[in-house]
Amino acid sequence: MKVLIIGGGGREHAIAWKLRQSPRVDKVFVAPGNAGTALEPGIENVEITEIPELIEFAQKESIAITIVGPEAPLADGIVNAFQKVQLKIFGPTWQAAQLETSKIFAKEFMLRHKIPTARYVRFNDAVCAYRYIDEGSVPLVIKANGLASGKGVVVAETKEQAHSAVDAILVAKNLGKAGNEIIIEEFLQGTEVSFIVMTDGQHVLPLANSQDHKRLYDGDQGPNTGGMGAYSPTPFVSSELHEKIMQEIIYPAIDGMRQEGIQYRGFLYAGLMITPNGQPKVLEFNCRLGDPETQPIMLRLKGDFFSIIEHAVNETLDQALIEWDLRTALGIVVAAHGYPENPRKNDVVQGLTGLMLEQKSNHDFHIFHSGTAIRKKDNNEEIVTAGGRVLCVTSLGETIEIAQKNSYQLVNKIFFEGCQFRQDIGYQSIHRSS
Ligand code: AMP
Ligand code: GLY
355 occurs within a structural domain = yes
| Size (the chain), residues | 434
DSSP 169-206: IIIS-TTGGGGSSEEEEE---SEEEEEEEEESSS-EEE
What are the tens digits of pLDDT across the range 8-23? Answer: 999 999 999 999 999 9
Ligand minimally distant from the alpha carbon of residue 10: 2
Q: How many domains does the chain have?
A: 3
* Residue 256 in contact with ligand 2 by CB distance below 6 A: no
For residue 81, the model assigns a pLDDT of 98
Burial class (CB in 10 A: 0-12, 13-18, 19+), 21: middle
Per-residue confidence (pLDDT) for residue 395, from 0 to 100: 98
97 in Cβ contact with 75 (< 8 Å): yes
- On whether both 73 and 140 belong to a single domain, the answer is no
Same structural domain for residues 161 and 296? Answer: no
Number of the ligand 2 atom closest to the C-alpha atom of 227 = 1
Q: Is the CB of 211 under 6 A from ligand 2?
A: no
Tell me, what's the pLDDT at 149?
81
Mutate-to-test residue for ligand 2 from 103, 192, 220, 291, highest number of ligand atoms within 8 A of CB = 291
Helix (H) or strand (E) holding 364: none
Residues 209 and 312 both lie in one domain: yes
Nearest-angstrom CA–CA distance, 409 and 264: 41
Is the distance from CB of 336 to CB of 371 less than 8 angstroms? Answer: yes
Rounded CA-CA distance 311/319 in Å is: 7
Q: Do 208 and 179 have their domain in common? A: no
- Tell me, yes or no, whether 180 lies in a domain: yes
Pocket flag, ligand 1, residue 71 (CB < 6 Å) = no
Predicted local distance difference test score (pLDDT) of residue 231? 98
Q: Is 138 in the pocket of ligand 1 (CB under 6 A)?
A: no
CB 331 within 8 A of CB 310: no
Helix, strand or coil for residue 425?
Answer: coil
169: which residues sit within 8 A by CB, 6+ positions away? 142, 144, 152, 154, 175, 179, 182
| CA atoms of 432 and 236, how far apart (whole Å) | 9
125 and 85 belong to one structural domain: no
- Angle, helices 305-313 vs 10-20, to 10°: value is 100
Burial 194-210 (b: 16+ CB within 10 A, else e): bbbbbbbbebbbbbbbb
CATH of the domain at 15: 3.40.50.20
Instruction: Indicate if 268 and 157 belong to the same structural domain.
Output: no
Contacts of 180 (CB under 8 A, 6+ apart): 124, 145, 146, 170
Looking at residue 150, its pLDDT comes to 78
pLDDT at 101: 96
User: Quick check: CB of 71 below 6 Å from ligand 2?
Assistant: no
Is the CB–ligand 2 distance for residue 331 below 6 Å?
no
CATH of residue 137's domain is 3.30.1490.20
Indicate the top mutation candidate among 71, 121, 153 to test ligand 1's pocket, ranked by most ligand atoms within 8 A of CB.
153
Residue in 398, 400, 397, 393 with CA at minimum distance from that of residue 434: 400
User: Given 159, 186, 213, which residue is the final one in a domain?
Assistant: 186
The answer to whether the beta carbons of residues 145 and 183 sit under 8 Å apart is yes
- Domain extent, residue 177, equals 119-186
Beta pairing, strands 27-32 & 191-199: unpaired
- The per-residue pLDDT for 235 is 96
For residue 11, which ligand has an atom nearest its CA? 2
Q: Does residue 16 come out as left (phi exceeding 0), alpha (psi in the -120 to 50 range) or beta?
A: alpha
Q: Are residues 177 and 216 in the same domain?
A: no
What pLDDT sits at residue 377?
Answer: 85
User: In whole angstroms, what is the distance from residue 75 CA to residue 260 CA?
Assistant: 19
Is the distance from the beta carbon of residue 212 to the nearest atom of ligand 2 less than 6 Å?
yes
| Pair 81, 230 in one domain | no
* Distance, CA of 114 to CA of 104 (rounded, Å): 15
The pLDDT assigned to 24 comes to 97
Cβ 118 under 6 angstroms from ligand 1: yes
Q: What is the pTM of this model?
A: 0.97
- What pLDDT was estimated at residue 433? 76
**pLDDT under 50 in the chain at which residues?**
none
Query: Exposed, middle or buried by CB within 10 Å (0-12, 13-18, 19+), for 128?
Result: middle
User: Which of 145, 155, 225 for mutating ligand 1's site (highest number of atoms within 8 Å of CB)?
Assistant: 155
> Distance between CA atoms of 412 and 395, rounded to whole angstroms?
13
**CB of 227 closer than 6 angstroms to any ligand 2 atom:** yes
Q: Which atom of ligand 2 is nearest to the CA of 230?
A: 1
Q: Evaluate the omega torsion of the peptide bond into residue 343 and state whether it is cis, within 30 degrees of 0.
A: no
Q: Are residues 384 and 263 in the same domain?
A: yes
In sequence order, the 6+-apart residues with CB closer than 8 A to the CB of 106 are 98, 99, 100, 282, 284, 285
- 236 with 328, same domain: the answer is yes
